[in-house]
Structure 1
Amino acid sequence: MNLVITDSGLGGLSVCAQLMLLLNKCADSGLSAFTADDLHITYVNAVPSNELGYNSMSGREEQLATFDKILRNVKKLFAPNHIFVACGTLSVLLKDIQFKSNSLFKIEGILPIGLKQLLDSLHQNSQATVIIFATPTTIDAKTLQHELFNKGIAEKRIITQACPELATQISNDPEGSKVAEHIHHWVQQALRKLPSDYAAPLIVYLGCTHYSYRESLFHDAFLQEGFSEITLLNPNLAAAESLA
């Protein structure tokens, strides 16, 4: 089977790595005859150029046209059986992509996986508040927020924090020293939005696949602000498990 995993950058590579690890573990344990060798996995960076990312485009129309063109080229070049969009930003565009409606193969995004994580965690902790960190496009689309509202989650339990340029900063700062400052800044901004009567525990959702590379820095930032016990949700591993 030809599987294409795509992202607007390098965040989705963590999904690829986790998927390969899971497939090999299953094969080694004898739990499954399905191995990494049964899959031909191609990773596609769907950013059109280093100077132009989706969150810096003129608007949704340009984002849709760009991603649609890339998906059509992916089909021509790789003849996939399955395309998995390992990107929160691009996942919110999928429902309006013309290419998807004309495709005979499976194409899906990471957003429903993250939504399930959020719902499971919020239902297990009926008083908990969640902070969603994501790109401006993901936050502005309000897809996650609306789905949570529709599933009965009260609006006051949901805090959203857009983190402009954080994905790029993570990619460009392998040492992580500057990124730590940026993450701390966005954590502080998010915590200021908490209502005075918010109830613990606090759930933190990383809504961009790039953020998983610096999961520990999010933990550190919350610890510095006095939040030693948080539940951190990272959809990357769950995405890999869904593909395995």
Structure 2
Amino acid sequence: MRIGITDSGVGGLSVCAELEARLSQSPLNQDIEVLYLNAAIEDDYAYNSMPDRRTRLQAFDRFLHSVRDKYQPDLLFIACNTLSVLFRDPYFDHHRHVHIEGIVGTGVREMLRAFERQRDLSFIIFASPATIEEGVYGKRLKSHGVPDQQVCEQACPGLPDAISNDSSGRLASELLEKFVPAALQKLGGRAENVLAFLGCTHYGYQAVQFELALHAQLPKVTVMNPNLKAVDTILSNLDNQAGSGDLTINFISRYAIPPVVIKSLSAYIGVKAPATLAALKNFTLEPELCGEL
């Protein structure tokens, strides 16, 4: 079975790494080929850098056509909140016949489960500017009965690059010193029991920095990283019969991955997912991965 995992950059590689770890511990009775497909056009020009929503729609549409024509995955998992939100648009209806799932559904489901257990829970959605602009997480929570005053959405511009370029966490910590107080101000000091949702797959690499920044301000807070649960969604589509099937992983990108990013990812996933890291280090360049620009 061929599984495509895509993100606008390397954040979604955390999903690939967790999938590798799970399948290494519990191999299935089928061969699995994982293709990590980097949807970003350039290292410094991904979807949150694009000038408007229509440009993002057109760019992702070209990418999906290219992936279908070149690789024909049996399942394509969108491990990117921005792209997963975007894919909900009717603009992509002509792709619905392909098996495509996204991380937004996973995230909303897990937050609602938490709310069912604790009705006093307030939510802070930390995400990219494009994801916050779409407002999907907040709308979905509110449509399922979460009161308006218990939902806050906080954009974190620049944070993915800080995480990709600095595994020490220093750059991420400096940005969170601004974003966390801004989010708490939106909640108006009302929240005593908070769930902080990491609405960008990059953020999970520095979940500890979120915990440190939030615990310094709040008496009771839980950080939710949906990347791990995303793997449950992928595995639910596979035959779960145990066996000795092979697992292969390849990383495909339109541009060369910068050495500083590879160095950071080595620190984040190296021990847990050696095959995923090897795929990143030996990435395949595919200039036409994002279609004709």
Q: What is the TM-score when the length of structure 1 is the normalising length? A: 0.91
Query: Partner of 1:30 in structure 2?
Result: none
Asked if 1 retains the 8 angstrom alpha-carbon contact of 2:138 and 2:152, the reply is no
- Corresponding residue for residue 65 of structure 1: 58
1:192 aligned onto 2:185 = yes
Deviations 1:20-78 (A, max 9, x none): 11122223xxxxxx16x621100011101123121121111000111111111111221
For 1:86, the equivalent position in structure 2 comes to: 79
Bigger drift between 50-59 and 214-223 goes to: 50-59
1:23 to 1:100, Cα distance in 2 relative to 1, 3 A? farther
Q: Is the 1:6–1:45 contact (alpha carbons within 8 Å) kept by the matching residues of 2?
A: yes
Which structure is higher in RCO with an 8 Å CA cutoff and minimum separation 6? Answer: 2
Give the Cα–Cα distance (whole angstroms) in 1 for the partners of residues 120 and 94 of structure 2. Answer: 39
Q: For residue 232 of structure 2, what is the aligned residue in structure 1?
A: 241
Aligned counterpart, 1:13:
13
CA apart distance, 1:224: 2.6
Deviation at 1:180, TM superposition (A): 1.1
Alpha-carbon distance change, 102 to 219 in structure 1, aligned in 2, over 3 angstroms = closer
| 1:97–1:74 distance in 2 versus 1, CA, 3 Å | farther
RMSD of aligned residue pairs (Cα, Å): 1.5
2:108 to 115, 126, 129: 115
Shift of 1:3: 0.6
Query: Compared with structure 1, are the counterparts of its residues 180 and 139 closer, same or farther at alpha carbon in structure 2 (3 Å cutoff)?
Result: same
2-side partners of 1:50 and 1:199: how far apart? 38
Q: 1:231 aligns with which of 180, 205, 222?
A: 222
Say if 1:21 and 1:156 are closer, same or farther in 2 by CA, change over 3 A: same
Alignment partner of 1:204 out of 196, 203, 208: 196
SS at match of 1:92: helix
SS at match of 1:193: helix
Secondary structure of 1:48's aligned partner: coil
Tell me if structure 2 keeps the 8 A contact 1:100–1:107: no
Q: How many residues are paired up?
A: 235
SS state at 2:9 partner: coil
The answer to whether residue 205 in structure 2 is matched with residue 213 in structure 1 is: yes
Q: Does 1:132 align with 2:143?
A: no
Q: How many Å separate the matches in 2 of 1:8 and 1:102?
A: 19
CA distance in 2, matches of 1:133, 1:208: 7
121 and 103 in structure 1: CA distance in 2 versus 1, 3 angstrom threshold: closer
Alpha-carbon deviation of 1:99?
4.9
Stretches of structure 2 that go unaligned for 5 or more consecutive residues are 236-293
